[in-house]
Amino acid sequence: MDVSFILDSLNDKQREAVAAPLQNTLILAGAGSGKTRVLVHRIAWLMHAYEVSPFSIMAVTFTNKAAKEMQARIEQLVSVPPQGMWVGTFHGLAHRLLRAHWRDAGLKENFQIMDSDDQLRLVKRIMREQNIDETRWPPKQVCWYINGQKDEGRRAAHVPDSHDPFSKGMRELYYSYEEACERNGTLDFGELLLRAHELLLGNPALLRHYQQRFVHLLVDEFQDTNSIQYAWLRILVGDKGSITAVGDDDQSIYGWRGAKIENIQSFTKHFNEVQTVRLEQNYRSTGHIIKAANGLIKNNDDRLGKELWTESPEGEKISLYAGFNEQDEARFIVSIIKKWRDDGTSLKDMAILYRSNAQSRVIEECLVRDQMAYRIYGGHRFYDRLEIKNALAYARLAIDANDDGAMERVINVPPRGIGERSIGTIRELARDQGCS
């Protein structure tokens, strides 16, 4: 079979990664080096050059958008839908696994998934029931603690004992939270991964089935994996499977949400006979930007090492302005925009990027003062809109009358005059009768 079409559009290093032997492979891919392209072509190579069945392939991404894009690009490259292949996010694939084996996982058949708002509402309810002061124990911090423990693969029973009152209190809240979720038949996002991992560990025959099925795992953005995701991958690969991990230890920015840079740094220790390929040609940035990036990152002594380069023009030099406060910074930004506008550049061709939404206020004030038109991009996603969440809560209640989170969301939508005292009475009655 002619497989040259898979390699024709790639550079030498990309071809090396795509056509690598059937063994564990770590692809260190710098920013803008075509890593998604390499993953897609690697899957096509497995199917055509090695005649691997799509049924034996699992590809893991970090966003639903990336998963859909990967699926579409695979179909476009091989001209037919790869039937039987699993492509999705860690959470999406874990969800699929739990739906298929809900009984073995100790779940209700119609278990529901909580989003972050539902989780926060449940935590607040538990704290009210236990008369816990929210000013001393912020509910968002409790959610953060619970999610962090699950990212580490720890149940409340496995959290180490502590003499610190705060840590002990958090652990007790985690216990109460687990009991409430079990009673309601609801799972948060962290629970999807933790429960799927426990399902496979506790069912050797089931684990063996999936190890024998998914012989080839491919993982994108490997530097962003947390402990439970890494553990999940390791047991799925087992002794006989192969994993292709694409990542960049220089781009690890999600430590605040549980990502472990040690996962990519320890890859060669935890997986057998690893081959490493470095993608260093950048197709996105100018020469000056690449040089600045290389100069900064070389100060990290723990990195695995690579040197980005580009055939793109040098471009403009990077300018750095250190404002003495946020107002000065905003004034400088607007002055540059005015200069570009006066030089003939259209406002629609300019953009201001900032790290947090809180930074936009001062910049907007300067833009308004100088009568410059602008548009804020972002805002709420479709499923995050209030009316959509309420409609979905009604749908969840229609499917499962025991869904406490959905009930509490819409019990007063539209307003029915049901106050917190009445809701509290209903909760107590339900608790006394052992129901939701």
- The mean per-residue pLDDT over the stretch 253-268 comes to 84
Each residue of 111-136: pLDDT tens digit? 999 999 999 999 999 999 999 999 88
The pLDDT score that the predictor gives to residue 80 is 77
Q: Read off the pLDDT band of 357 (50, 70, 90).
A: confident
Question: Where is pLDDT greater, at 88 or 83?
Answer: 88
- List CB contacts of 61: < 8 A, sequence separation 6 or more: 67, 70, 87, 88, 89, 220, 221
- List CB contacts of 125: < 8 A, sequence separation 6 or more: 180, 404, 408, 427
Question: Where is pLDDT greater, at 161 or 149?
Answer: 149
Domains of the chain with CATH codes? 4-97+194-282 (3.40.50.300), 112-184 (1.10.10.160), 326-369 (no CATH), 382-432 (no CATH)
The pLDDT score that the predictor gives to residue 178 is 97
Q: Please identify which residue in the block is written with the tokens 């406490």.
A: 404
Q: Read off the pLDDT band of 65 (50, 70, 90).
A: very high
Q: Please identify which residue in the block is written with the tokens 């278990």.
A: 111
For the chain, give the mean pLDDT.
Answer: 91
Tokens standing for residue 166? 């705060």
Q: Is the pLDDT of residue 412 over 70?
A: yes
Each residue of 296-337: pLDDT tens digit? 999 988 888 899 999 999 999 999 999 999 999 999 999 999
Give percent above pLDDT 90 in the chain. Answer: 71
Q: Read off the pLDDT band of 426 (50, 70, 90).
A: confident
pTM beyond 0.95:
no
Please report which helix (H) or strand (E) contains residue 40, including its range. Answer: helix 35-48
Question: Where is pLDDT greater, at 357 or 244?
Answer: 244
Question: Is the separation of the CB atoms in 147 and 188 below 8 Å?
Answer: yes
Task: Supply the Cα-derived Rg of the chain in whole angstroms.
Answer: 25
- List CB contacts of 256: < 8 A, sequence separation 6 or more: none
CB atoms within 10 A of CB 88: 20
Report the C-alpha gap between 116 and 190 in whole angstroms: 11
Each residue of 194-212: pLDDT tens digit? 999 999 999 999 999 999 9
Long-range CB contacts (within 8 A, 24+) of 85-88: 85/43, 85/54, 85/55, 85/57, 85/58, 85/59, 86/57, 86/58, 86/59, 86/214, 87/58, 87/59, 87/61, 88/59, 88/60, 88/61, 88/64
What residues are paired with 279 via a beta bridge? 29
Q: Read off the pLDDT band of 382 (50, 70, 90).
A: low
The pLDDT score that the predictor gives to residue 237 is 96
> Do the strands 242-247 and 25-29 form a parallel or antiparallel pair, or are they unpaired?
parallel
